[in-house]
Structure formats: C-alpha cells, structure tokens
Amino acid sequence: MKRVYDGKKIITGLVLFLAAFTSPFWYNTVFGTFDYVPELKVEKNGKECVKRTSYMKTNHMVLLRFWRDEVVRSGKRIYKKEDGTEIEMSLSGTCLKCHKNKEEFCDRCHGYLGKAPRCWSCHNVPREAKK
Amino acid sequence: MRRRDFLKIAGLGFISGLFLSSVSFSFKPTRRVRWGITIDVLQCKKNRDCKVCIEACHEIHNVPDVPDPKEKVMWIWTSTFEKAFENELGPLVKETRGSDPVLLLCNHCENPPCVKVCPTGATWKREDGIVMMDYHRCIGCRYCMAACPYGSRSFNWKDNRRYIKKLNYDFPVRTKGVVEKCNLCEERISKNLLPRCVEACPYGALTFGNLNDFQSSPSRLLRERLSIVRKPHLGTLPNVFYLL
C-alpha cells in the first residue's frame, strides 16, 4: 500500500471530526437522555377529538390541510365527525379551544422535531389559550 | 337517395337542431347569487370626515395601520371624486364636485384582471362573485397589484403585526410577503351577517345584497337612482356601485 502523505494528521483530523459530528449521540448516551420523548399535555376538556388519537398523532397535518382547503377554497365551514356531530373547521376556533396549551401541546413536539409549522405566522392563538 | 328526400331530411335535422339549441340555452343555469354593494356618494359628502366604516372594517380584519404611506395596507379607504372617477366626469363637474369624498374598496369585479394574472391561483372568483384571496397560496409576486386598475390591493412589506392596534383573535393576520385586500366580509356573509362597513355606517349610505334578487336593497336602489362604477371602459364590470 502506498504511504499516505501526512497520514497521521489526516487520520487524526478525521477521527476528531467524526467524534465532534456524532457528539450529540454520545452526550445523550452518557447522560441517559437517548430515549427522551417529549411529553405532551393533552387537555381534552371533556370532548372527543375530531378523529381518534392514533390518527391525529400521525395525520393531524393532513386533516388541517383538508380543513384549510375546504374553508378557503370551497367555503364549507362545517365538518361532520364520525359520530355525526358537526363542528366548525377552524384551527384557532376549534382545535385550540380544546387544546388550550399550545406551548405544551403543539410546540413541544414540533420543537423537539425541529419542524416549525407556518400556521402561526397568520393564525392567532386564542386569548384564553395564551398562558 | 332522391334529391327531394335528402332535402326533407336535411330540413328536419335543421329544425330539430334549432329546437334543441333553444331548449339547452333556456336551461342554462344562471348564477343565483351576485353580491354587490351600493355607496351613496351624497351621504358620504354630507358627512365628510366620517371614518366609521373604515375603522370598523380594519378593526375586525386586523388591518395594520402602517405609518409609511408607501407601505400602507388598506381594505377600504377614501379618496376624492376627481381621483376616483378620473375619466368619467366632465371638466366642469370636476370643479364643483371634484373634491367630494368617495369611499373605495375592492370592486369584486365580474371580470377581475387580478384573477387572470395570478400565477398560483391564490386569488380567484367565487361562485357568488366574491374575489377571494388564499393567503396560503400567495407567493407575493404582486402581479395582481399591477393588474388591478383600482389599487385595491396592498402588499405586506414586512411583518405588520406590530401596527395592529387591537388584535381581533377571531380573524387571522397576514404574514410578511403576501398581498391582501377586502374579502367582502366573506366570513360574516357565511353567518348571514352584513359586511362590517355596511353594518357600521351610521347614515345608511351603504347597502349590500344579491344583485340577482329583484327585492334586495341594492338592486332596488339601482333601479331607482342613477349610479356609476369606476373605470367602466376597462370592462372589469365592478360590483360596487356609486349612487349619485
């Protein structure tokens, strides 16, 4: 095998780079926070959600996008839940009236995943939800 | 086939074609609702400094009061007769009535040029005639602002949230980089309420209703009184009428 010029420096540099690059993983392993999952404060306020929890966990954005298009593009404002009750399709008016704690419900998970939704650049957090 | 038979069949075909086309024409569905607004110019003249409708509209729709005139955001505002009806008035009328105040807002044209130029479909004409904005789709290219001959559209050059005096939590604000304009209180109409400007006017200078409905107050007024629209020569067919 041919000798690598400045092999020592290069290999040391690569090892240092990899160590720095993966340092968050090592940090979490050492301090035991590797399997941290954000805990959400689910306030139901005695009402059933629009769809079942397992669906909402994975597909709330699909539902919200559907609501957005229905209200804005088609002018339909009423959504019929599976149990037949009718609710208004509104993020601020319906979702956040139940899930009053946006910081501990929306933001906690979205912050953990580093996924900032753009809803709040226009839509308001209702007054009573602001804590 | 004999010549005579051919002519018989051709004639029959022609007549039945005529009949069918006339039937299909008469069954063509007409639009049920066509929202329109009338503005009584004389009432606005009598109460020259009245800004009730403007304040009421801007308050419920979270329209920011931007101090820089170049970056102003307006859904409804006033101008003078002379400026609003540049080509429609004769020179002598301009001298006597040119400085009368005129209330301006989006005309919700039947033939809206802003809709034609929008590259993303963020603005479109609804079935009931409202020219709507979908702020989710607006990319802020401002083609619509260039196309609108009435200056009814405003651009958010920056985050204007700080200029909203009193936030109405029930209505969204607009983010930086989108165009906004009057929505004819679409959110109120869906609840069977009048547009806020019409409701707020203390002098009854504004009426709102379905222009296709013979009994509605704007269509009654439009039958009784003379009216003009802004820049009719452009063929945009505004749905906001000014009663003279």
* ipTM of predicted assembly, 2 dp: 0.78
pLDDT at B29: 55
Give the range of the structural domain holding residue A13, as residue numbers without chain letter.
1-35
Same domain (yes/no): A58, A122? yes
Q: Report the mean per-residue pLDDT for chain A.
A: 86
Digit-by-digit pLDDT tens for chain B (244 residues) are 888 999 999 999 999 888 877 776 665 556 689 999 999 999 999 998 899 999 999 999 999 999 999 999 999 999 998 889 888 877 778 788 888 899 999 999 999 999 999 999 999 999 889 999 999 999 999 999 999 999 999 999 999 999 998 999 889 999 999 999 999 999 999 999 999 999 999 999 999 999 998 899 999 999 999 999 999 999 999 999 999 8
CA distance B130 to B62: 20
Cα of A79 to nearest chain B Cα, Å:
15
Question: CB–CB of A93 and B170 under 8 A?
Answer: yes
Cβ-defined contact of B186 to A75 (cutoff 8 Å): yes
Both tokens of B91, joined, read 């020179």
Give B186's contacts in chain A (Cβ within 8 Å). Answer: 75
Whether the CB-CB separation of B38 and B228 falls below 8 Å is answered with no
Nearest to A36, CA basis, from A108, A88, A93:
A108
Mean pLDDT for A87-104 is 87
CA distance A73 to chain B (A): 8
Q: Does A123 touch chain B (CB under 8 A)?
A: yes
Chain A residues in contact with B174 (beta carbon < 8 A)? 122
Give how far the C-alpha of residue B235 lies from the chain's centroid of Cα atoms, to the nearest Å: 13
A96 and A63 in a common domain: yes
Residues A12 and A63 in one domain: no
Assigned domain for A40 exists: no
A73 vs B contacts (CB less than 8 Å): 134
Same-domain status, A17 and A74: no
Interface subset of A 7-46, CB within 8 angstroms of B: none
User: From edge to edge, which strands make up the β-sheet containing B227-228?
Assistant: B206-210, B35-40, B240-243, B227-228
Q: Which of B115, B130, B136, B189 to mutate to test the interface with A (most CBs of A within 10 A)?
A: B136
The pLDDT value recorded for residue B237 is 93
Query: Facing residues of A64 across strands?
Result: none
Taking residues A13-42, report their average pLDDT.
87
The residue type found at B98 is G
Locate B64 and state its tokens: 């920011």
Do A63 and A25 lie in one domain? The reply is no
Instruction: Provide the β-strand partners of residue B132.
Output: B124
Residues 62-101 of A with CB under 8 A from B: 68, 72-73, 75, 77, 92-93
Residues A28 and A58 in one domain: no
Chain A residue numbers with beta carbons less than 8 Å from the beta carbon of B63 are none
Residue A128, pLDDT score? 66
Nearest CB to B173 within list A72, A73, A124: A124
* Residue whose pair of structure tokens reads 């049920």 in the numeric block: B32
Number of domains in chain A: 2
Q: Which amino acid is at B106?
A: C
Q: What is the pLDDT of residue B76?
A: 95
